[in-house]
Structure 1
């Protein structure tokens, strides 16, 4: 993510979304929600050493960088979606990819690695493009389903709204739709083979400008997978 304004907007949007994510987790007692953030710029780096229960999750601000190693990010995620460490039976992962640029490494290799893992293939994959410079073609390929539209955030309020949507509605969908028909609340949910169908939100033009006085850390990674 090349612009300071964009990264500040992203940091602000995720901080705004966190309370909603925690609320969704509280409302879905049959599904335990974990979160982990992968930042990618010059390489890819987990911002958390392991999965964190959403109730304990906190956000570390990112700073802007000019490189977009998206392929490395997808390969890194693929390693974590192997069985093990992933269990054979669970709710599907929700992967939210946010980017404002074009991959600067081998995106195809990274996508093959991700889709080569069962959990990567079955994950609910959401992508948010920030601004006009984002590579929408690769983001659509990451999503992989025509039923799920790419989210294009052209202003700060859209970014906030899309992240809130991805953090709440998608989590609710994943915990609801992927229970097998004969599943009971006391047993582990089995993954369904059906394609996800989500109602992508639309928003009116924002009435407010970008947030002010947002501090960033020294983390030199720009885009992220959440």
Structure 2
């Protein structure tokens, strides 16, 4: 059912916008990496709520998948950003990224997304290389209409991430993986992915499945790359 927000003299139908973090929780994420990731997402939530307030035509629904030796829903229920609370991730195991993408693909099927949704936003965060069949997981997403329409972003946590894999996930040469070399950069990039891109995706101009996309279904302006602060520890 489409929600309707009532305004004086009018009724405005809202459209769901699914925002999904896909987070690497393998053993190499120990220490500063996982702590910074948990902190960065919590820090981004107030700004995400502000974006939601500015875009009443969109109902922003958040959730998260985590992956280590297996993949699972870390926060499974699509939750309105106004009431969404982040649960800290823990680490262990290897990097089942392909399995995580298959979990996400199941939620992008039309019978679950509906036909009035705005383009979903998928944010992949990883510090390493997949240890399973990443390509088959990505194929599961890309064979779906909503998978093709999704805004896909990736953030490398440290220098050891597989940038080629993260670029394949994005699927557009004009959009590059962001590389966070320390906690401050990770906070900046997650805030960008969670607000600037979210605002673009929730705007009335976002494309729907019946429209033809050009380069990407939502215009994305990449953030400036900040110099590394030498006073901060590097991941």
TM (norm. structure 2) is 0.81
CA RMSD of aligned residues (A): 1.9
1:205 equivalent to 2:214? Answer no
1:79 equivalent to 2:109? Answer no
- Which structure 1 segments of 5+ residues have no match? 181-187, 211-226
Among 142, 151, 154, the residue aligned to 1:124:
151
Partner of 1:90: 117
Alignment size in residue pairs? 203
1:193 equivalent to 2:213? Answer yes
By relative contact order (CA 8 Å, sep 6+), the higher-ranking structure is: 1
Partner of 1:224: none
1:174 equivalent to 2:201? Answer yes
Could you tell me how far apart the structure 2 residues matched to 1:47 and 1:13 are? 16
4+ aligned runs moved over 6 Å, structure 1:
none
Partner of 1:25: 52
Q: 1:97 to 1:85 in 2, by over 3 A?
A: same
Contact 2:55 2:203 in 1 (8 A): no
- Which structure 2 segments of 5+ residues have no match? 1-25
Partner of 1:154: 181
Contact 2:68 2:95 in 1 (8 A): yes
TM (norm. structure 1) is 0.84
Instruction: Provide, for residues 82-123 of structure 1, a one-character-per-residue CA deviation record: whole Å limited to 9, x for no partner.
Output: 011111232000000000010010111101111011111110
